[in-house]
Structure 1
Amino acid sequence: MPKPIMLWAVPRSRSTAFLRIMLERGDLEVAHEPFSYLQTDGHFELAGRHVTSPIELLDTMLEVNAKERRVFAKETSDYTYTPLLKDERLFRDVTNTFMIREPRGAISSHYAKNPQATLDEYGFEYLHVIFDAVRSATGEAPLVIDGDDLVADPEPMVRAYCERVGLEFKADAMRWDPGQRENWRSTTRWHAEVAESSGVVAQAPKRRETPDTNEHLRRVAEHHQPFYDSLARHRLGISR
């Protein structure tokens, strides 16, 4: 039985666009930031099951994956998941993958949505913690994709990802009808670009504060850059 897939992503890495592709396939049970919602709301619904703890949620993911259909869950690294990372099933029974983006772009985009974000909430350092936990437990470096690579070559990147995790590539899933999704309605403002889109496309940079114009963001970027660099050494490449 194929394992459920986790995509651990730094915030503002274009991970919701990637999740939208997985959702459009129609053959996966797709969960949008389930462990984050569990922390903020105290509960999460997965495939009709009501869960109230991280371990119960992992139990449910494994059960749904085994008895119904394969699970794909996208999660961000602006929260911490200590109980989950102590459960060996996360490493043994789940395919863990990672998504990054060049820090200056991700940090600028994050700051535009949440100027009060703490240093940790930008997520690169904690994403590296999770990556190291997976690598230590499995003895292998997990799959890493870069959001900038995704928008540069969407179809080859998704095709390569699918091949690595044991999914059939579905070209039709690369396009969708614009609109909000019910399962991310409580965090709508974070996903406006994806809701307005019909596919993965590169967008012109918006005018916003950046590490070049904002001293606080410069310090944030300098702190997180080494963690990005370490993860980027493992990122998925494609043949052109």
Structure 2
Amino acid sequence: MKIAMWSGPRNLSTAMMYAFGNRPDFAIWDEPFYAPYLAATGIDHPMKSEIISAHETDPHSVARRCAGTIPDGKQHFYMKHMPHHMIAGVPRDWAKACINVHLIRHPARVIASYGAKRAQMGAADIGFEAQTRLYDMLGGIVIDSADIRANPAKILKKLCDTIGLPFDDAMLSWPAGPRKDDGIWAKHWYNAVHQSTGFAGPEGPLPDVSSDLLAAALPHYERLADRKLSA
């Protein structure tokens, strides 16, 4: 089984990768199209030069690995992807052979969290429109990070049941600290999840981030939220 997990930034995506990576039957891959995206766009991201130097930048090579043999002799493969990395010229056909899962989070929370790590952002940086385009192309299952945080065991078991994968309690906790499979960007973005040993609890009220960015992202979030697995 190959799972392509599509998620915008600051959206529980690394914790979900750790959850699947803590299973003995899964290999994981952290944002394989990040370096190709940076190399092609020239966009200024934290650690841009290091990312491009340390990771494969040819999207066709990355796509072949996505479609190829599952690494490390594992039975299953979990790939953490960001929709906005899939720019023009990046192959997508490989994803049709995957179970596609779309992880969503309310854009007000994404905007507030992303802004704490990178002051400048536009709609393309948080990927809501790109995610709905991918959903239209690939279909798949939608899960909301708020539901996972409220009851991780229930939602992860429901996801596993839906995709025909036995649930494993190992998904609910993991050792603190970095992982060998982390992208090099982990030292900038992953400090909170490196301190965690499981999913954080429910979040408080929505932050006040009233803006054109929120207004543009909200319809895309709401459209996918209407299709999510029920909590």
Q: TM-score range by the shorter chain?
A: 0.7 to 0.9
Could you tell me which amino acid in structure 2 is paired with residue 72 of structure 1?
A: Y
Q: 1:39 to 1:119 in 2, by over 3 A?
A: closer
- Whether contact under 8 Å (2:4, 2:95) holds in the other structure is no
Instruction: Select which of 93, 96, 101 maps to 2:105.
Output: 101
Q: CA deviation at 1:66?
A: 9.1
Instruction: Select which of 82, 88, 113 maps to 1:82.
Output: 88
Q: Deviations over 1:154-174 (max 9, x none)?
A: 011111111222322110231
2: CA distance, partners of 1:108 / 1:67? 37
- Whether contact under 8 Å (2:67, 2:94) holds in the other structure is no
Instruction: Select which of 209, 214, 218 maps to 1:225.
Output: 218
TM-score normalised by length of structure 1: 0.81
Greater CA deviation, 66-75 or 155-164?
Answer: 66-75
Could you tell me which amino acid in structure 2 is paired with residue 154 of structure 1?
A: P
Q: 1:169 to 1:234 in 2, by over 3 A?
A: same
2:70 pairs with 1:72: no
Look up the match of 1:235.
228
5+ residue gaps, structure 2, are 39-50
Q: Deviations over 1:143-185 (max 9, x none)?
A: 0111111100101111111122232211023111111224234
Q: Percent identity?
A: 23
- Whether contact under 8 Å (2:176, 2:196) holds in the other structure is yes
Instruction: Select which of 11, 14, 19 maps to 1:13.
Output: 11
TM-score normalised by length of structure 2: 0.84
2:57 pairs with 1:59: no
Could you tell me which amino acid in structure 1 is paired with residue 201 of structure 2?
A: A
Q: CA deviation at 1:89?
A: 3.4
Look up the match of 2:155.
157
Q: Deviations over 1:107-158 (max 9, x none)?
A: 11111111111221121111111111113xxxxxx10111111100101111
Greater CA deviation, 71-80 or 168-177?
Answer: 71-80
Q: 1:88 to 1:63 in 2, by over 3 A?
A: closer
2: CA distance, partners of 1:196 / 1:231? 30
- Whether contact under 8 Å (2:108, 2:207) holds in the other structure is no
Look up the match of 2:45.
none
- Whether contact under 8 Å (1:11, 1:77) holds in the other structure is no
Q: CA deviation at 1:67?
A: 9.6
2: CA distance, partners of 1:166 / 1:82? 33
